[in-house]
Chains A and B, each alone.
Chain A
């Protein structure tokens, strides 16, 4: 079947199987910043924005994106660059595998709640795992980034 959607503002048409999930579709189309980790909705490295809201691409059927908009980290490049500066300052990046998904989640948090408490930041990012940092440095970097209005 065919699916028509907007990715990072560009119109795309993909030929897919009815049961394909968005993660596999995106990776087949070379959107390789969308990582494949657990593939069972847990780790968050495949986070993308679906009509502006964070979702795990491994949990959404591609067929459901017909007529909708998907954003990968390339779609929020400027903001992701700025966030990565804060990550760098705090040593919050090691392997970088979780960073694209994390950046998209932080972007969505900022849109929903531009002045979150520490607890709200933690809660919002529950679904984005990082096996390198222990989260503390990331948490500080994200807070500094959000405070930099």
Chain B
């Protein structure tokens, strides 16, 4: 990555203006991932000085500033309990502490990384993103949106709700990307199943979810059938980390475990 100039902004408005001043201007959050790219940035816009690195817990939500580090999110006492700690658990297995002290929640969402261990647990929760100009939209909508207009992500809002949650990833070493990752949740009577690092972007197992949510009772047979349906409907791929069928089988095993955990 090449950066020609650097500017630490004093307001979100200033960041937004600068971002749209020049195609090659970009926000640098932690800057950890951008470092590995070959991009040329005209002006790097730093949001460090405008207080976006806090987690505010309200009565009905956790509002996480976009510059909050993954480590701050992982260690937050409230989030450690939310959905049985699925998000904290997922974050605690990303690289080591030093990278999680730099990488931010905002950079992890905007990047829409196919290998992400951040998006998979988030997508099974009720999550909204607040952008400076575009306002609020759900994480789900953001992930499928083709809108390329440049905006500043201000905060990530995780709604508080009574729910069970599960996250599991397969990785070869502590510093490697996930071979595949799975998150399962049960909120009221609705079960969600998401599979990431397939190796493409996280996706819901829509047909499997329809099946399990339509079942009168979650028996072991229903769990096995749900995993089968998910294995069939989701696309998996082969790369240097694992083959398509290996990923599929691991994902199915984790889906079964997840369903058992969230339904007991």
Pick from A56, A108, A123: contact of B99, CB under 8 Å: A56
Pick from B44, B48, B95, B101: contact of A18, CB under 8 Å: B44
Q: Does the CB pair B44–A126 fall under 8 Å?
A: no
Q: How many residues of B contact A (CB 8 A)?
A: 28
Q: Does the CB pair B3–A18 fall under 8 Å?
A: yes
Query: With A18-B4, A40-B36 in contact, is A55–B102 under 8 Å at CB?
Result: yes
Which residues on A sit within 8 Å (CB–CB) of B56?
Answer: none
How far apart sit A123 and B91, CA to CA, in the bound complex (Å)? 12
Q: Does the CB pair B2–A59 fall under 8 Å?
A: no
How far apart sit A54 and B31, CA to CA, in the bound complex (Å)? 16
CB-nearest residue of chain B to A17: B3
Q: How many residues of A contact B (CB 8 A)?
A: 31
- B19-48 interface (Cβ within 8 A of A): 28, 30-32, 35-36, 41, 44, 46, 48
How far apart sit A66 and B2, CA to CA, in the bound complex (Å)? 20
- B93-141 interface (Cβ within 8 A of A): 95-99, 101-102
Q: Does the CB pair B98–A61 fall under 8 Å?
A: no
The yes or no answer to B8 lying at the interface (CB within 8 A) is yes
Q: Does the CB pair A47–B44 fall under 8 Å?
A: no
Q: Does the CB pair B102–A56 fall under 8 Å?
A: yes
Q: Does the CB pair A50–B101 fall under 8 Å?
A: yes
Q: Does the CB pair B3–A59 fall under 8 Å?
A: no
How far apart sit A66 and B6, CA to CA, in the bound complex (Å)? 12
The yes or no answer to B215 lying at the interface (CB within 8 A) is no
Closest-CB distance, A24 to chain B (whole angstroms): 12
The yes or no answer to B149 lying at the interface (CB within 8 A) is no
The yes or no answer to B1 lying at the interface (CB within 8 A) is yes
CB-nearest residue of chain B to A59: B32
The yes or no answer to B174 lying at the interface (CB within 8 A) is yes
How far apart sit A23 and B189, CA to CA, in the bound complex (Å)? 51
Binary B-proximity of A11-40 (CB < 8 A = 1, otherwise 0): 000000111010000000000000000001
Q: Does the CB pair A59–B30 fall under 8 Å?
A: yes
The winner among A47, A56, A129 for most chain B CB atoms within 10 A is A56
Query: With A18-B5, A18-B44, A55-B102 in contact, is A44–B96 under 8 Å at CB?
Result: yes
Query: With A1-B6, A60-B102, A126-B174 in contact, is A21–B97 under 8 Å at CB?
Result: no
Binary B-proximity of A51-81 (CB < 8 A = 1, otherwise 0): 0011110111101101000000000000000
Q: Does the CB pair A127–B96 fall under 8 Å?
A: yes
The yes or no answer to B175 lying at the interface (CB within 8 A) is yes
CB-nearest residue of chain A to B1: A19
Query: With A18-B44, A41-B32 in contact, is A124–B97 under 8 Å at CB?
Result: yes
How far apart sit A53 and B74, CA to CA, in the bound complex (Å)? 15
How far apart sit A71 and B112, CA to CA, in the bound complex (Å)? 33
The yes or no answer to B213 lying at the interface (CB within 8 A) is no
By a beta-carbon cutoff of 8 Å, the part of chain A in contact with chain B is 1, 17-19, 21, 40-42, 44, 47, 50, 53-56, 58-61, 63-64, 66, 105, 108, 123-129
6 contacts between A and B (CB under 8 A): A19-B2, A53-B71, A56-B102, A59-B99, A127-B99, A128-B96
List 4 tightest A-B contacts by C-beta distance, closest first. Answer: A127-B96, A19-B3, A18-B6, A126-B174
For the A-B complex with A44-B98, A53-B71, A126-B97 known, give 4 more contacts whose Cβ atoms are closer than 8 Å.
A54-B97, A123-B92, A126-B95, A127-B98
